[in-house]
Amino acid sequence: MKLNKKQAEDRIKEFFKNLDNKKPEDIIKIKRLAMHNKIKLGALRKKFCKKCYSVFNEKNSQIRINNGFRAVKCLKCGFASRWKIKHLSRTAVLEHIQKC
């Protein structure tokens, strides 16, 4: 099935709205769709492991804040993704963790 860019964007947004029960294969498919259409996933990339494509949840990930970095460790494959936190106070950092 061929999708235009708008349709692909919608499908990606829809996909990330509900990540429960999503398998790594689903993530790979959606990532491929995004790449084909040159759609940037941006913040959405933080929702899954870069290496094994598992969707992060409380059980399979460990979040640490260190020197302005938020490190999410995937407990499935052990890979740690690090994201820079910009200009956030300590309270803002805590709020940030709760939101994600």
- Distance CA(100)–CA(94), nearest Å, equals 10
**Closer residue to Zn ion in complex, CB, 44/88:** 44
Q: 81 - beta bridge partners?
A: 72
49 is a site residue for Zn ion (CB under 5 A): yes
34 is a site residue for Zn ion (CB under 5 A): no
User: In Å, how far are 66, 69, 93 from 29, measured between CA atoms?
Assistant: 32, 29, 32
**Closer residue to Zn ion in complex, CB, 12/49:** 49
Give the residue from 1, 47, 58 showing the smallest Cα distance to 24: 47
51 is a site residue for Zn ion (CB under 5 A): yes
Residues between 57 and 86 that touch Zn ion (CB under 5 A): 74, 76-77, 79
In angstroms, give the least distance from the CB of 79 to Zn ion: 5
- Distance CA(51)–CA(49), nearest Å, equals 5
Residues forming contacts to Zn ion in the complex (CB under 5 A) are: 49, 51-52, 74, 76-77, 79
